[in-house]
Structure 1
Amino acid sequence: MSKTKTVADTRTLVRTIDGVMFDPAEWYWDIPTPLGHVTFNFKYLPGAGASLRQKVKDAFAVLLRANAPERLRRLLVRLRAFLKFLSAEHPDREIDVLTAVDLENYGASLSMRHQYFLRQVKWILVSWAKTGVGGLSHDLLLFLPVMESRSHEVGAAVRTMDPETGPLTDIEYESVVAALRDAFASGKLSLPDYALMVLAIALGPRPSQLALLKVKDLSISQRDDGSKVYILQVTRLKQGKNIRPRTLFKARELSTAAGGLLEQQIAVVTNWSERNGIDLAEAPMFPSITRSLPKRCIMPSGLEGHQGTKAVSTKIARVLRDLRVFSVRTGAEMVLFQTRIRRTLGSRAAAEGLPATVIADLMDHSWVDSSLVYIESRPEMIERIDKALALKMAPLAHAFSGTLRYRPYLDGAGGEKTIHIESLDSLEAIGKCGKLDFCGLAAPLACYTCSYFNPWLDDNHETLLDRLLTEREELLAMCDARMASVNDRTILAVADVVNRCREAALKGAE
C-alpha cells in the first residue's frame, strides 16, 4: 500500500513569493526578503501535539508560496498566542485539533481593546483551511465564515494628540528640525545620516521605503532658468494583498536643499559601490557599512548592500534620541521615532486645510479612508500664546541655545558683529554674533535660536518679546493661524532670554 507523501516528508525546496528557496522539512526557517530576514520557529507552539505542530508547519509552507513572509510571521505570533491561551486553560491537554469552542473561548478572554487579535487568528485559520492540510475540526470550519470580529482601532494617537506617540505640535516639530540642523552643522551628524533624516521628515516615508531606495531612483533635470529639479521614485508599500516592494513607485519632487543633499550622498555611495563591485545605479542610496557585503545581502534579486527595515528604523530612532529635544507639553525629552514623524506630516497637512485626497497622496495611502483620521481630528496645533504663557513655557522649549554676556562698556568693543533691534527712536544693540562669518539669516529674530548668539543681560529683549507677541495677535486676527505661529519658537527663545535676564538682575540686587 503506497504512502502519501506530505510536504514535510520530501526534501524538495519550496519557493517563496519573492523567489527565495527554503527547505520546508526544517523546523526553523530564515527567509530573506526585501525588507529584511523573516524567521519562523515551529519548535515553539505551546500545547501543540506532534501532529498539530506538523500541520501548522505544512500549512505555512504552502502559504509562503503566495503570501508575504512578513505578514505570515506576524500571524504565526498571533497563532502562537492563541495556542498559549489554550495551553494555560488546560495544561494537561495535548492539542491535536483546534475547535470552534477553542476560538470562542479565546475571543471571550480578550479585552475590548484587543478584540482585533481575534480577527487576525480568524484570517490565519481561514488561510490554513484553504491549504487542505488539516488540523481544524469540522465545527470550526463551519464557524469561521460566520464568525464576527473587530478591526484594530486606527488613529487613536492622532485623535488624542498623544504627547508620546501622536503628532508633534508646531513648536515641537520646529525644535526637532532646528536640532538636526545644528547637529549636522557642528559635525555631530554625518552626511548620510543627515540626508536620511531630511528625507524621513520631508516625505514621511516608512523606514522600509527608505531602506529600499536606490541611486537610480533619483532623477535630476534642469529648468530653463538653470535651476535643478529633483524627482525621487519611492517604492510603494501596503498597496494591496501581497504586492511586493519595488514593483510600484510614486514620484516625489524634492526641495532644492533635499535634492542637493542626495547628490552629495550619491558621491559617498560612489566610493562604496566601487569598493564592492556594484553598479552605481543599482547601489542602495543608504548602504550598510557596518558589515561586509555578503552578510548584508538581503536577497539575490539586486538588493545587495541594502539595510533592513529594522536597521533603518533603529538608526532614525537613535539619531532622534541623541538630539535630546525637549517638549513644551511634558517638560521632558521627546520620545521620537519615524511613525511620529509620519503622523506629524499628516496632521500638519490637515491643519493647513488640505483635503483627505491630498493627504492620502502625501502619506501614500491606498485608500482615502486611511487619511480621514487627520481630517476628522484636525488638531488645534496653534496655541494662543500670551506673555505670561510664553515666559512659563520658555524653559521647557530649550529654544535659546546661545550664551548670555554682560553688555561691554563700549558696544563696539571687540571684532564680533553687533546685533540690533529697531526701537521707536533708533537701533538698540542687544548682543553680539560669535560666528565671525557671514550669515544670510535675518537678524535679530534668527539670532535667538542660534548657538552663536551672545545676547546681553539687559531689558531690551523684553521690548522685542512684547513686539513679537503683538504681531502674533494681529496676524491671528487678519490671516491663517499657521502664518501667525511662524515665530512661535523664536518667541519662546526670546522669553527664555528675558527670564534669564530677570534672574540675573535679582541675583545682582541681593
Structure 2
Amino acid sequence: MVNDFAQKSFFARESESTKIVSFNGFEFDYLDDVWVLNRNKKVSVWHLDKFKPLLRDDIRETLQYYAENQSAGYTEGHAVALNAYLKHSGADEFTQLGLVTFYNLAKNHDSKNNKFKEYVSSVRCFIRQMKFLGMDNNLDESIFELMDGWTIGGNDKGVPVLSNDAERGPFTDLEFDAIGHKAAHKYAEGVLSTEEYTVISMFKASGRRPQQVSDCKNKDFTWSDKFIGKPSYVGNMPRAKQRGGKFRSSFTPFGFTVEIGRLIEKHIKDQTLYVEKQLGRKLTNEQKGELPLFLDPKAVMEMKQLSSSSLLAYLKSELPHIKSRGMTGILKSGIEKLSVISERTGRPIHITGYRFRYTLGTRAAREGAGRLVLARLLDHSDDQHVDVYVANIPEFAVEISKIMNQSLARFASAFSGKVVRDEEEANTENAGAARIPCREMDCDVGSCGTSAFCQDYAPIACYLCPKFRPWAHAPHHLVLKWLVEERERLKVDAKGDMQIVTINDRAILAVCQVIEKCREYNND
C-alpha cells in the first residue's frame, strides 16, 4: 500500500531527518519555504530566514512543533503573525524595542478590524512556547517580563452580525428567500446542476462551515427514525475548529427536510455512478460509503492509478475531498446563476459560506431560541459566542419595514417572469394558458406560462414564479392593496411575530415590480 501512495504526502514513510509529518498526516520538509499541512493549507514560511541566524533555527523548530501537534490553521496563524512582526516591528529578533513597537500597533489600531491584536497575542504565545520547549537560549529574559505585563483585549466578535453588514453579515429575509426560490426554479430549468443545488441547499439549511461540508462522506447520510420517531433524513456532520480535533474525529447529527434528503441521495447516486464509470468497475459498499460527498476535481484521475486494495485507504483519507475554497467556489458559482439582487445594495448578492451561518443563527434567535439551543444549532462547543445573535433581534424585527420604504426595493430579486400585453399574447406562448385569478379581489391578473400541474397558492406564488405572465393592463394594484392589508392584519393576529408578519414581503415586492414593469411596458 505504501508503494501505491509513494507520491502522496499523506502517508508517512522512511525519509531524511528534515522530513516530518503534520498533525493531519501530511509529510513535508521543514526546511522548505512552503509547508503542506493538509489538503486545505499550504503555509508559507520563507520569511523565517529573515530572523537573525542564531534565532532562526529555534523559531523554525518551534513552528515545526506546532505543525506536528496543532491544527494547520493554528500553525498558519503563528506563521502569519511572525511575518507581521518582521514587517512592522523593524526588528529581526525578539527585543524589547521591537515587541513594544509591535504591541503599540495593536493598542492604537482601529478596533473594528484589529488584526494586530491577533498578531501580538500569537507572537506572545509563540515566544512563551519557545521557552517551554527550551528554545529560548537566544532570548533575553527581560522580554518575558515585558510581555507578562501586556493587556491584549480580544477582537470585536460578531461585527458582521451586529452591524447587519450588507456584504458580510446575515442575509435579509428577502435575500435569503430569493436564494431558495430562485435555486429551486433554476434547478427545475436545468440551469443548476444537482451538485450545485445540493451545495446551496446544504449551506442554506445547516449553516455549517465550508470545511465541515467538504469533510462529509456518503456514509454520513441516512434515513433514521431515531430522533423524531418517524423517518427523517440525518447528516452526521463532521465538526470543525475543535481543539486537538483531527480530520473527521467528531460529529454532530443534523436533520434535513425530506426534500433536501432526496436531493442529497440523488447527488450521491449520480456521483457514485460517475466514479464507477470512470474507473470501469463497480465499487464495494464500503468504498461507496467512504466516497466524499463532494469530490476533489482531480480525485478520480488519482483513483484510476490505484489498485482495488489501495483505493479504500485512499478514500478513507482526506485526499479525495474537495478543498474548502473549492466548496466555496461551487457555492458562489451556483448562486451567481440565480442573479439575485440585494435590495440593500442594488448589486448582485455577495456570497460567502459564513453568511448562511450568520443567517441561521439570527433567524433562530429571532424565533426565540435560547443561548444553549443556538450553540447546539451552530455546532459551538459552548455558548460564549452566541450573544451577537441574541443582541441583534430588535434590528431584524424592523428590517423588512425599512426595506419596504427604500428606493432600492425595486432592485430586489422578487419578480422574475415576463410582462405580456394581454391574455391573447400569453396564449401565443402557451396555448390555452390558465388564467391567474386573485379571488380575494375578484379579478384576473395574468396567465401561467406552463401547462405543468401546480399546487402553489395563486396569485402569491405566481408573482414569484419565472413562468408567470402578468397582463400589462391587469389591476395589479388591487393585489398589492390586498397583500398590504393582510400584512397589517397579521401584525395584530401574530402579536408581533415578524416571522409570520413578513411571510409575504417578497410577494409584495414582486407585485410592486410588476406594477413598475407594466408602467414601463405601457409607456413604450
Q: Deviations over 1:386-445 (max 9, x none)?
A: 899469555211311111112247999941111111156xx4222110111111211111
Would you tell me which structure has more helix in proportion to its own residues?
A: 2
Q: How far apart are residue 128 of structure 1 and its match?
A: 2.5
Matching residue of 2:251: 249
Matching residue of 2:503: 486
State how far apart, in whole Å, the 2-side matches of 1:37 and 1:458 are.
56
State how far apart, in whole Å, the 2-side matches of 1:43 and 1:238 are.
26
Matching residue of 1:72: 75
SS at match of 1:458: coil
Tell me if structure 1 keeps the 8 A contact 2:22–2:68: yes
SS at match of 1:493: helix
Consecutive unaligned residues in structure 1, runs of 5 or more: 1-9
State how far apart, in whole Å, the 1-side matches of 2:375 and 2:65 are.
35
SS at match of 1:471: helix
Matching residue of 2:288: 280
Tell me if structure 1 keeps the 8 A contact 2:33–2:44: yes
Q: Deviations over 1:184-219 (max 9, x none)?
A: 122121101111110111001000001110011012
Q: How far apart are residue 458 of structure 1 and its match?
A: 1.8
Q: Deviations over 1:305-333 (max 9, x none)?
A: 11111211222223233433111112222
Code of the aligned partner of 1:103:
L
Are residue 30 (structure 1) and residue 35 (structure 2) matched?
yes
The alpha-carbon distance between structure 1 residues 42 and 503, as it changes in their structure 2 partners (threshold 3 A), is closer
Q: Which of these residues, 113, 121, 124, is aligned with residue 122 of structure 1?
A: 124
Q: Which of these residues, 485, 491, 501, is aligned with residue 476 of structure 1?
A: 491
Code of the aligned partner of 1:127:
Q
Matching residue of 2:435: 418
Are residue 289 (structure 1) and residue 297 (structure 2) matched?
yes
State how far apart, in whole Å, the 1-side matches of 2:222 and 2:512 are.
45
Q: Which of these residues, 73, 79, 84, is aligned with residue 81 of structure 1?
A: 84
Are residue 343 (structure 1) and residue 358 (structure 2) matched?
yes
Matching residue of 1:321: 336
SS at match of 2:68: coil
Q: Which of these residues, 398, 413, 430, is aligned with residue 445 of structure 2?
A: 430
SS at match of 1:219: strand
Counterparts of 1:128-147 in structure 2, within 5 Å, are 128-134=130-136, 135-147=138-150
Q: How far apart are residue 129 of structure 1 and its match?
A: 2.4
Tell me if structure 2 keeps the 8 A contact 1:273–1:280: no
Code of the aligned partner of 1:359:
L
Q: Deviations over 1:277-296 (max 9, x none)?
A: 67001110111235644399
TM-score, structure 1 normalization: 0.87
Code of the aligned partner of 1:203:
S
State how far apart, in whole Å, the 1-side matches of 2:367 and 2:453 are.
34
Tell me if structure 2 keeps the 8 A contact 1:159–1:379: no
SS at match of 1:369: coil
State how far apart, in whole Å, the 2-side matches of 1:23 and 1:393 are.
54
Aligned-residue sequence identity (percent) comes to: 26
TM-score, structure 2 normalization: 0.85
The alpha-carbon distance between structure 1 residues 106 and 300, as it changes in their structure 2 partners (threshold 3 A), is farther
Are residue 357 (structure 1) and residue 385 (structure 2) matched?
no
Q: Deviations over 1:353-372 (max 9, x none)?
A: 21111111111111211111
State how far apart, in whole Å, the 2-side matches of 1:358 and 1:462 are.
43
Tell me if structure 2 keeps the 8 A contact 1:46–1:84: no
What is the RMSD computed on CA atoms of the aligned residues? 2.9
SS at match of 2:47: coil
SS at match of 1:105: helix
Which stretch shifts more, 327-336 or 196-205?
Answer: 327-336
Counterparts of 1:292-307 in structure 2, within 5 Å, are 292-294=300-302, 302-307=317-322
State how far apart, in whole Å, the 2-side matches of 1:388 and 1:258 are.
30
Matching residue of 2:392: 377
The alpha-carbon distance between structure 1 residues 243 and 387, as it changes in their structure 2 partners (threshold 3 A), is closer
Q: Which of these residues, 192, 196, 200, is aligned with residue 199 of structure 2?
A: 196
Which stretch shifts more, 387-396 or 206-215?
Answer: 387-396
State how far apart, in whole Å, the 2-side matches of 1:350 and 1:131 are.
45
Matching residue of 1:155: 158
State how far apart, in whole Å, the 1-side matches of 2:368 and 2:394 are.
11
Consecutive unaligned residues in structure 2, runs of 5 or more: 1-15, 305-310
Q: Which of these residues, 215, 222, 231, is aligned with residue 219 of structure 1?
A: 222
Are residue 229 (structure 1) and residue 229 (structure 2) matched?
no
